[in-house]
Amino acid sequence: KEMLRSALCEEFPQLLFNGHRTESLPGILNVSFDSKRMSVDGEALIIGMDLQGVSVTSGSACTSGTLEPSHVLLAMGRDEATARATIRFSFGRPTTKNELDFAVKALRRVLETAEQPHVKTVKGG
């Protein structure tokens, strides 16, 4: 989890990490794209990751499979656009560093190839 968190943090400074750093499930990492810095269509993000061969889910477990933003993320202070631009990585003991690296590179490719209005960098953020 820490390897993935560090790699994501380095590659995507606009990411927000949801949940406590240490007091959380060891096999889940939930991240949001800060809508003040980058506009990301969450559904396009999930589809793009799937096409890259990486399975992720949206928001939090309690809203997985719905198009509604997570009420948990909203209660944590995330705005609606940020809550919609959230993905959850799940992994376990068999997950390798190479697989984590692949997921980070896949996310980069998805963000680089997404067409407007799915992903748009906001200047000065």
Could you list the active site residues?
Answer: 62
Residue 21 CA to residue 72 CA, distance in Å, equals 17
62-78: burial string, b at 16+ Cβ within 10 Å, e else:
ebeeeeebbebbeeeeb
Check residue 61 and report its DSSP letter: G
Q: Which residue has the tokens 């793009």?
A: 48
Residue 34 corresponds to which amino acid? D
Provide the H-helix boundaries in 34-123.
Answer: 42-51, 71-75, 80-84, 97-113
